[in-house]
């Protein structure tokens, strides 16, 4: 009898975008948490780096969501239980929503703080004067939503490890970049004569 472990993977574009965005979020999030720790004279520089990397996250998330709508994920292995099936889609959607909305609130905070985007070769200045009534609450909301994103990512990663190493249903291999994931799938194809 065939094993139910089907080991189908996400496409290479989805995998590349997943891990590039994950890495960038670690960088942007760490820079965000360090904002108050920088010496005054370098603080604006690091907040600008945080903002530029955050903008990149936003652009990549848009590209990824657009791609995702045109490329449905591979079917889940039959080993994945009912609870995981029901919960994973809303959690993934919430992750996308947070990655969409956090940078937008960050942009508002940045601009209404009177800051100027410095892209190195050129600067973008909206000419808006610092307005505490705007940037104080948006900065708080931006931070709280970022903490929510970190918590959700933690749960998401723990769930992935639990599937991979406790349930042993090969879930992480679906999103893993290396050829390691392809080997068991190829073996199974050989066993079933390519069906
Ligand atoms: C900032 C970090 C991360 C973010 C924002 C993130 C976000 C996401 C999102 C939105 C999806 C849904 C993909 C889709 O169907 O379009 C996903 C899938 C997935 N992620 Fe992450 N992820 C992160 C980190 C991680 C880590 C650290 C792991 C593993 C240890 C991981 C493992 C997976 C796996 C295995 C899937 C596929 C789940 C499935 O097959 O249904 N992710 N991730
Ligand atoms: C997914 C992307 C992002 C994440 C995870 C993130 C995360 C964070 C975190 C954790 C903080 C510190 C909050 C606190 O101290 O309570 C912060 C602050 C801030 N972020 Fe972001 N951020 C992102 C994108 C952006 C973007 C795109 C911009 C602007 C274009 C931005 C602008 C700011 C500003 C202005 C602050 C306040 C800095 C200050 O103390 O003046 N962020 N962010």
| CA 84/CA 80 separation, integer angstroms | 7
Is 5 part of a structural domain of the chain? no
Q: Do 94 and 152 form a contact (C-beta atoms < 8 A)? A: yes
DSSP 8-class letter at 162: I
CA of 43 to the centre of ligand 2 (A): 13
Residue-range definition of the domain harbouring residue 168: 12-178
CA distance linking residue 35 with residue 44, whole number of Å: 9
The pTM of this model reads: 0.90
What pLDDT sits at residue 127? 96
* Residue 183, domain member (yes or no): no
Pocket flag, ligand 1, residue 159 (CB < 6 Å)? no
Q: Please answer whether residues 2 and 49 qualify as being in contact, where contact means their C-beta atoms are separated by less than 8 angstroms.
A: no
Q: If you measure from the C-alpha of residue 19 to the centroid of ligand 1, how many angstroms do you get, rounded to a whole number?
A: 8
The pLDDT profile of the chain, 195 residues, written as one tens digit per residue, is 333 445 689 999 999 999 999 999 999 999 999 999 999 999 999 999 999 999 999 999 999 999 999 999 999 988 899 999 999 999 999 999 999 999 999 999 999 999 999 999 999 999 999 999 999 999 999 999 999 999 999 999 999 999 999 999 999 999 999 765 445 544 444 444 433
7 domain residue, yes or no: no
- pLDDT for residue 191: 45
- Tell whether 4 is covered by a domain: no
- Domain of 92: which CATH number? 1.20.950.20
Q: Is 103 in the pocket of ligand 2 (CB under 6 A)?
A: yes
Nearest residue by C-alpha to atom 17 in ligand 2? 32
| Per-residue pLDDT, 81 | 92
Give the residue whose CA is nearest to atom 3 of ligand 1: 22
Asked if residue 3 is part of any domain, the answer here is no
**18 Cβ inside 6 Å of ligand 1:** yes
Is the Cβ–Cβ distance between 160 and 170 less than 8 Å? no
The finding on whether 175 has its CB within 6 A of some atom of ligand 1 is: yes
The response to whether residue 47 sits with its C-beta less than 6 Å from ligand 2 reads yes
In a domain, 61, yes or no: yes
Q: How many domains does the chain have?
A: 1
């Amino acid at each position: 009898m065939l094993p139910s472990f089907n080991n189908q993977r996400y496409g290479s574009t989805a995998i590349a975008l997943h891990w590039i965005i994950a890495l960038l979020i670690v960088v942007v999030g760490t820079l965000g948490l360090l904002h108050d720790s920088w010496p005054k004279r370098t603080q604006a520089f690091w907040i600008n780096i945080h903002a530029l990397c955050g903008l990149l996250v936003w652009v990549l998330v848009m590209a990824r969501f657009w791609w995702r709508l045109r490329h449905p994920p591979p079917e889940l292995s039959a080993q994945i239980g009912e609870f995981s099936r029901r919960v994973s889609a809303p959690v993934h959607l919430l992750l996308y929503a947070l990655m969409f909305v956090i940078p937008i609130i960050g942009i508002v905070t940045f601009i209404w703080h009177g800051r100027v985007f410095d892209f190195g070769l050129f600067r973008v200045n909206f000419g808006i004067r610092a307005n505490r009534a705007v940037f104080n609450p948006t900065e708080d909301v931006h931070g709280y939503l970022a903490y929510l994103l970190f918590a959700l990512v933690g749960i998401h990663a723990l769930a992935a490890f639990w599937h991979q190493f406790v349930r042993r249903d090969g879930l992480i291999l679906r999103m893993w970049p290396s050829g390691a994931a392809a080997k068991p799938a190829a073996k199974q194809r050989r066993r079933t004569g390519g069906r």
